[in-house]
Structure 1
Amino acid sequence: MRSIKDYHLPKELEDDLRSAKKIEWITVIYLISVVVVMYLVMGSSQAMKSAWLEDVLGLVPSVAFLISTHINSKAPNDRFRYGYHRVFSISFLIGAAALLGMGIFMIYDSSMSLIKTEHPTIGNRIIFGERIWMGWVMIVALIYSSVPSMILGFKKLPKAKTLHNKVLYTDAKAQKADYMTAFAAIVGIIGVGGGWWWADSVAALFISISVLKDGINYVSTAVTDLMDRSPVTLKEEKEVPLINEIKDLVLSWDWVKDANVRFREDGQVFMGEIAVVPKTTVDTEKLEEAYEKIYDYSWKISDVVIGPVKKLPKW
């Protein structure tokens, strides 16, 4: 029977994981350059400040994914007998909490600017001998902060779904939607240029609400995962079909009269128990074969316990 220490991803998924890590390293380097550029040009614009803060936050899931994959690669030991799979769930919660906290701060900051009727100024600078309105420079910086980010998000999304990795999925979704942040900030900057001082703070508030909404959703998902809810799909958050497939597989065995299953998510893999009511006496050979069939059915099953019982538990 396969031991939990023998668990590893299939070769094709190992390739996807290596590719995802490579993309994340590119993302980290790119986002650092974005943070520097945005900081240099944001001036007193509240919308630019909010967009800059969101870009700083964008580093969290990428770094968390890289750290988590390194820790997750460690083999189980006497201290962590179930392995390090749940490090992904912990990273997801940390990133979500950071997003939620920053969203609350950004809403307060942008709201106070509106309440105090602060009038941002976007002046001119001499660049290469030409007087240029800094609003145009800000818009170019915003395009730089969003277009490559969107491309990286689209590249990560299919790998996140294949690997069933919520840290990577959250990162991909956030980056794919970066155009909304850039568009809101551009509208705010143009509004200031047109004499509407409030446009900048309203744009910042729109960005802040978006960050807060994502933070609330992700914290809720992370907490329920850590509470061992039944595994759900990444996008629709519906019950993973694999659970019922495993139950059907067990019920198809000629020596099983009835069965019940339950699994929980540990990062990107599932762990759980299967209770079976046998028709006849169960020997170790049948159990060994049962374990092999379960483990061979899907790479997502990291650890399972099969227990013969007289009466099924109400899971």
Structure 2
Amino acid sequence: MRRPEGKATGVRFGHTELPEDQEAALRRAVRLAWLTIAFLVTAVVLVYLVMGSSQAMKTAWAEDMLSFIPPISFLVAIRATRRRPSPKHPYGYHRSVGVGHLVAATALLVMGAILVFDSASGLLAGEHPPVGLMEVGGHVVWSGWLMIGAMAYTLVPPVLLGRAKMPLAKKLHDRVLYADADMNKADWMTAAAAMLGVLGIGVGLWWADSVAALFVSGSILHDGVRNIRVAVAALMDARAETFDGAEPHPLVDELDGRLGRLDWVAEARSRVRDQGHVFHVESFVVPVEGYAPRLADLIEAREMAISIDWKIDDMIVVPVEELPAKMLPQVDDEPAADHDADR
């Protein structure tokens, strides 16, 4: 079946064939994930060797360790989504993306909370982390310069990787990749904060190290809270939203508009839930008065809807006498529904 982004190429997410643009994006995303893992291996080893007793450096090292989770989750989820639907999993394995997103978000949340507590405890206790001297190549140098050099190494590559991944996350509608890109883009703050913390120790500001660590750990905790909110909402069959969870996905309104313009359709509304990469769609259509839709009409409606976007693939079209209000709540109905539930 022809897609607007390009013809199907045989590369699949489960039973969903990818258009050419998405296939190329997927291949590049996988390469970037492996490149990220390779970079992180060098980064965590380097930071571990020079971090000493600096709280900011320890927190930056922990953040680099956590950064392994999103790319690994992405690679595992992509592998899982290639599996075809089975009797046990008739909807396929696209939910593995949501599971991977939840795993990464939970790790960020837990580690962020631990690091915030640890950093705040050190600050309140008035800990004075020593940064001594080290002999390198026959020369005695302040260890802080080695720490700053290590942070400088970890400063730029994550930013470049994050900027490269972000458009791919949008094209593939992949929230694990988005979480990974979002963390990468923010990593420069981690490195910069750690560098300032070490410099603060060097000029006698003992508290600068703990403040820098607290800033970094607070950023990790914030990322965890934000990502876990989006991940849980998706797994609870919330309405389909954009890849970053910022707003309802525009495909929903476009789908209803296209169905409503069919000659035999008077009204159309859809329930759309995010399965991971693709959407599960239930479209309810009210035929014009006096017209009984034929099987050919329903097939035509479904094929037209699927042709809109590759993500609309798992879809059913249900002719009804009137739109089922309980199954298609309006936005204005949500507070009332919540109120009823509270009672």
Q: Per the shorter chain, which TM-score range?
A: over 0.9
Deviations, residues 29-86 of structure 1 (Å, cap 9, x unaligned): 1101111111111000000000000000000000000000001111111111111011
Given candidates 164, 167, 170, the residue that maps to 1:158 is 167
Match of 1:277 in 2: 286
**Quick one: structure 1 residues 195 and 266, their matched pair in 2 at CA, closer, same or farther if it must change by over 3 Å?**
same
Given candidates 179, 182, 186, the residue that maps to 1:170 is 179
Give, in angstroms, the shift of residue 262 of structure 1.
Answer: 1.2
Match of 1:286 in 2: 297
Given candidates 203, 226, 230, the residue that maps to 1:221 is 230
**Which residue type is aligned with residue 319 of structure 2?**
P
Give, in angstroms, the shift of residue 247 of structure 1.
Answer: 0.2
Distance in 1 separating the partners of 2:114 and 2:97: 26
Match of 1:98 in 2: 107
TM-score normalised to structure 1 length = 0.97
Match of 1:51 in 2: 60
Equivalent residue pairs, number: 314
Query: Is 1:302 paired with 2:309?
Result: no
Amino-acid identity (%): 43
Query: Is 1:311 paired with 2:322?
Result: yes
Gap regions ≥5 residues in structure 2: 3-12, 329-343
Query: Is 1:116 paired with 2:125?
Result: yes
Distance in 1 separating the partners of 2:294 and 2:114: 61
**Which residue type is aligned with residue 104 of structure 1?**
A
**Which residue type is aligned with residue 290 of structure 1?**
A
**Quick one: structure 1 residues 131 and 268, their matched pair in 2 at CA, closer, same or farther if it must change by over 3 Å?**
same
Give, in angstroms, the shift of residue 146 of structure 1.
Answer: 2.0
Distance in 2 separating the partners of 1:12 and 1:238: 24
Deviations, residues 263-291 of structure 1 (Å, cap 9, x unaligned): 01111211120001112111111111111
TM-score normalised to structure 2 length = 0.89
Once the two structures are superposed, the pairs formed by residues 53-202 of structure 1 within 5 Å of their partners are 53-202=62-211
Once the two structures are superposed, the pairs formed by residues 182-261 of structure 1 within 5 Å of their partners are 182-235=191-244, 237-261=246-270
**Quick one: structure 1 residues 283 and 294, their matched pair in 2 at CA, closer, same or farther if it must change by over 3 Å?**
same
Gap regions ≥5 residues in structure 1: none
Structure number having the greater helix percentage: 1
Distance in 1 separating the partners of 2:27 and 2:243: 21
Q: Give the SS at the match of 2:162.
A: helix
Match of 1:35 in 2: 44
Distance in 2 separating the partners of 1:132 and 1:269: 55
Distance in 2 separating the partners of 1:22 and 1:45: 34
Once the two structures are superposed, the pairs formed by residues 3-18 of structure 1 within 5 Å of their partners are 6-18=15-27
Deviations, residues 138-172 of structure 1 (Å, cap 9, x unaligned): 11111111211111111111111111111101111
Q: Give the SS at the match of 1:119.
A: coil
Deviations, residues 231-290 of structure 1 (Å, cap 9, x unaligned): 122347111111000000000100111111110111121112000111211111111111
Give, in angstroms, the shift of residue 6 of structure 1.
Answer: 4.2
Q: Give the SS at the match of 2:99.
A: helix
Distance in 2 separating the partners of 1:230 and 1:74: 25
Distance in 2 separating the partners of 1:268 and 1:78: 20
